[in-house]
Every structure is written in structure tokens, then in C-alpha cells.
Amino acid sequence: MKRTLLIWAVVAIGYGLFHWWYVGSGKPLTPDEIEMYMQRLEARDRDAERMAAARAFMEADTGGEFYMVNLMNLRDAPLVIGDVEPGETSARTLARYTSDHMARALMLRAGYFVVVGSAAAANIEQWGLDYDPQWRRAGVVRYRSRRDLMEISTDPRFIEAVRYKFAAMEQTFAFPIDPAVTFVNPRHLALAGFIALGALLQLLLVPRRARR
């Protein structure tokens, strides 16, 4: 009995730590934090419209997760900046930003790329637009919180890496969404995995007579 209780206590603690890492504090940004991040952003971007959008985004914070929807078109050839080599593809240059920097920064904060891919065809449906965008790539990124996004985007390492994004992309359109319904949630998968692990450990480590 003691061994069984120990196993499930360890499983509960393990899942609790995962849940804490995945969900974060759940606290909205404070006014002081918003001003701090605004100062960091304004130090490298003076565009009034973008700064107003950033402030509104932070002031509407609920403390929960959100997803960033990204639509993009790559350049035929990337701008040659930094260590970008002549003849390098725009996809490889973009990977210097997404794979070499963003993937790591997201993982530390329980963020991840939900889906990334190229367009399977031209636009299937569009109306009410004054222009004709033909987006060729798209991606959706999960962020644990708006605080995490601000921490990533104001990190000096991000500022160094984001130049590869600009070098690779000719056009981009991005907007955040607050999830109303999430059909596949890693927390549920993790819970199922921890329960399965606990059952396996009990099967292997607890004598049959003790389980009766």
C-alpha cells in the first residue's frame, strides 16, 4: 500500500510540475509591466500605430494562453545580411529565426509551433478585400501568455535573430487569437501519459498480492 501511494504521489507531483510550467502564473500584465515593455519596444520602434496596437494588446491581457496566426510570403532570394550566404534559400534564412532562435525561446516558456506549412493551392475563398493577397505559407504558434511574448520580443537575442525574418519575408500578416475552444490540449495528453506511467510502475513495482 505504501509503495502504491508513493508511486501515485510521484505521478501527481510530476503532472503538477508540468501543469505549472505549461499554464504559467495565469496573472494578467500589471500596469507597471506594460510600461516597462512599452519602453523596451519604443527603444527600437517609433511607429505610433504599432506601438498603440502593442499597448492595446497588453492592456487586454487575461493572463491566459493565446495563439498567433501568421501568413507570409517569402522572397525569391533572401537579403544578404549577417552570415546569410549568397545562394541561400529564403526558407533556410527564415529557419535561422524560427528553428535556431524562436523554437528554443518558445520551448522554455511552454510555447510551440502548432502547425506550419506551405499553401496547397491559391486562395479558395476571399471577399470584401481591396487587394488580392496570395499567401504562400502559414503558421500558428501557441504562447503561454502575453507576458511571454513580450519577454521574447524584447530580448536582445530576439532583436539579433529577427533580422533573418525580415531578410527572408517579403510580406507577412499576423494577428493573435484567444482560444474559445481547444480540441487537442497537451495538458490532457500529458495527464493521460502520467496516469499510464503510474499504472505501469504499479504493475511492475507493486507485488500482485499488495494490489488486491
Q: What is the C-alpha to C-alpha distance for residues 204 and 193, in angstroms, rounded to an integer? A: 16
- Residue 192 pLDDT: 93
Q: Please, which residues have CB within 8 angstroms of residue 114's CB and are 6 or more apart in sequence?
A: 67, 139, 140, 141, 142
Q: What is the DSSP string of 150-165?
A: HHHHTSHHHHHHHHHH
- Residue 208 pLDDT: 63
Question: Rounded mean pLDDT of the chain?
Answer: 91
Find the angle CA(5)-CA(11)-CA(12) to the nearest 5 degrees.
85
Instruction: Specify the range with the lowest mean pLDDT, choosing from 15-19, 70-74, 132-136, 169-173.
Output: 132-136
**Residues 185 and 96: beta-carbon distance below 8 Å:** no
Amino acid identity of 60? A
- Residue 29 pLDDT: 97
- Residue 78 pLDDT: 95
φ and ψ at residue 62, rounded to 5 degrees: -105, -10
**Residues 30 and 145: beta-carbon distance below 8 Å:** no
Mean pLDDT, rounded, for 124-128 = 87
- Residue 170 pLDDT: 95
pLDDT > 90 fraction of the chain, expressed in percent and rounded? 69
- Residue 181 pLDDT: 74
Q: What is the C-alpha to C-alpha distance for residues 152 and 95, in angstroms, rounded to an integer? A: 17
pLDDT tops 80 at residue 158: yes
pLDDT tops 70 at residue 212: no
Q: What is the C-alpha to C-alpha distance for residues 22 and 3, in angstroms, rounded to an integer? A: 29
pLDDT tops 60 at residue 186: yes
Pairing of strands 169-177, 112-118: unpaired
Among residues 31, 51, 29, 41, which one has the least CA distance to residue 145?
29
pLDDT digits (tens, 9 = 90+) for 56-105: 999 999 999 999 999 999 999 999 988 898 899 999 999 999 988 999 99
pLDDT digits (tens, 9 = 90+) for 31-49: 999 999 999 999 988 789 9
Mean pLDDT, rounded, for 11-32 = 94
Pairing of strands 112-118, 66-74: unpaired
Place of cell 525580415: 166
- Residue 206 pLDDT: 80
